[in-house]
């Protein structure tokens, strides 16, 4: 689990979590309606991601940045994946301007975007022929406060409390939950979508979908404490910089949107 005292990244280490049951995407429920959202792993670390086409999956840079550009990762599309089975192997590319977790929110995970390219396309039957969709430029700026947002991911679903540090509970199943967005002014709002609550460790890279649609407004990036309470910040993929990086990186590495 990557974390800072104030700023906590949302990737999670697979072996650091406890089994158990809870309602989740913190307050969500098991999801069968977004088969294009995948669990992504390099072995010890788990994130989430959105399949945009048979060859391209969108996720977060901080998930596997330590593995380096061109790392090999696995994507699992089942609602409850079986470890080591039913996966698809791809190559991970992160925005080279990503500099890691900063010291506090003003220096947060800027440029926290990455893609996984599959040299062998994911069969349409895996996702029932459905995919996430990139937004139009500046879509987030047109949204009103409290616009509904659907969260989908494979992350921590809750915490066991009672004596000592609360311990995370992970089921490694795809969950969906609802939250709302609100305006965040200044440089932070120019790059991140601020959500009221909902995501936790392991939901990194998972989509913030415009409510009731497959349009990815942003992908989960960071929050400001280690128990997933309070606001969540997600890297906007509707900015010219993000969309340009995604499309050029995909084209340069053999993917197709």
**Rounded CA separation 57/75 (Å):** 9
* CATH number of the domain bearing residue 156: 2.40.10.10
User: What is the per-residue pLDDT for 165?
Assistant: 78
Note whether residue 257 is domain-resident.
no
Quick one: average pLDDT of 176-193? 80
Quick one: average pLDDT of 39-64? 94
Answer whether residue 138 shows pLDDT above 60: yes
Answer whether residue 19 shows pLDDT above 70: no
User: What is the per-residue pLDDT for 109?
Assistant: 61
Note whether residue 1 is domain-resident.
no
Backbone φ, ψ for residue 51 (5° rounding): -75, 120
Answer whether residue 226 shows pLDDT above 90: no
Answer whether residue 95 shows pLDDT above 80: yes
Among 44-53, 54-63, 191-200, 234-243, the least confident range? 191-200
Answer whether residue 4 shows pLDDT above 60: no
Note whether residue 3 is domain-resident.
no
**Rounded CA separation 29/255 (Å):** 32
Note whether residue 106 is domain-resident.
yes
Mean pLDDT of the chain: 83
Provide the pLDDT confidence category of residue 1 given band limits of 50, 70 and 90. Answer: very low
Answer whether residue 44 shows pLDDT above 70: yes
Provide the pLDDT confidence category of residue 24 given band limits of 50, 70 and 90. Answer: very low
Note whether residue 55 is domain-resident.
yes
Quick one: average pLDDT of 177-198? 79
Note whether residue 2 is domain-resident.
no
User: What is the per-residue pLDDT for 21?
Assistant: 28
User: What is the per-residue pLDDT for 132?
Assistant: 98
User: What is the per-residue pLDDT for 147?
Assistant: 93
User: What is the per-residue pLDDT for 107?
Assistant: 54
Note whether residue 244 is domain-resident.
yes
Q: Which residue has the tokens 């200044």?
A: 186
User: When comparing pLDDT for 64 and 109, which is higher?
Assistant: 64
Backbone φ, ψ for residue 28 (5° rounding): -100, -155
Answer whether residue 227 shows pLDDT above 60: yes
User: What is the per-residue pLDDT for 71?
Assistant: 97
User: When comparing pLDDT for 44 and 120, which is higher?
Assistant: 120
Answer whether residue 184 shows pLDDT above 70: no
User: What is the per-residue pLDDT for 166?
Assistant: 76
Note whether residue 243 is domain-resident.
yes
Q: How many domains does the chain have?
A: 1
Whole domain around residue 139: which residue ranges? 8-252
Answer whether residue 192 shows pLDDT above 60: yes
Quick one: average pLDDT of 86-100? 93
């Amino acid at each position: 689990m990557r974390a800072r005292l104030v700023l906590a990244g949302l990737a999670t280490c697979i072996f650091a979590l406890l089994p158990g049951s809870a309602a989740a995407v913190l307050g969500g429920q098991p999801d069968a309606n977004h088969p294009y959202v995948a669990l992504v792993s390099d072995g010890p670390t788990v994130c989430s991601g959105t399949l945009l086409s048979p060859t391209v999956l969108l996720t977060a840079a901080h998930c596997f940045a330590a593995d380096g550009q061109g790392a090999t990762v696995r994507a699992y599309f089942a609602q409850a994946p079986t470890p080591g089975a039913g996966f698809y192997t791809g190559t991970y590319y992160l925005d080279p301007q990503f500099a890691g977790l900063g010291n506090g929110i003003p220096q947060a995970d800027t440029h926290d975007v990455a893609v996984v390219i599959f040299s062998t396309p994911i069969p349409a039957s895996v996702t029932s022929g459905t995919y996430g969709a990139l937004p139009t430029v500046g879509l987030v700026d047109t949204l009103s406060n409290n616009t509904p947002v659907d969260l989908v991911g494979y992350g921590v679903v809750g915490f066991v409390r009672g004596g000592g540090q609360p311990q995370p509970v992970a089921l490694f199943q795809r969950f969906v939950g609802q939250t709302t967005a609100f305006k965040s002014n200044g440089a932070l709002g120019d790059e991140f979508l601020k959500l009221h609550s909902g995501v936790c460790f392991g939901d990194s890279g998972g989509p913030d979908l415009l409510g009731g649609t497959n349009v990815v407004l942003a992908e989960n990036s960071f929050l400001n404490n280690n128990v997933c309470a309070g606001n969540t910040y997600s890297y906007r993929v509707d900015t010219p910089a993000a969309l340009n990086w995604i499309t050029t990186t995909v084209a340069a590495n053999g993917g197709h949107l």
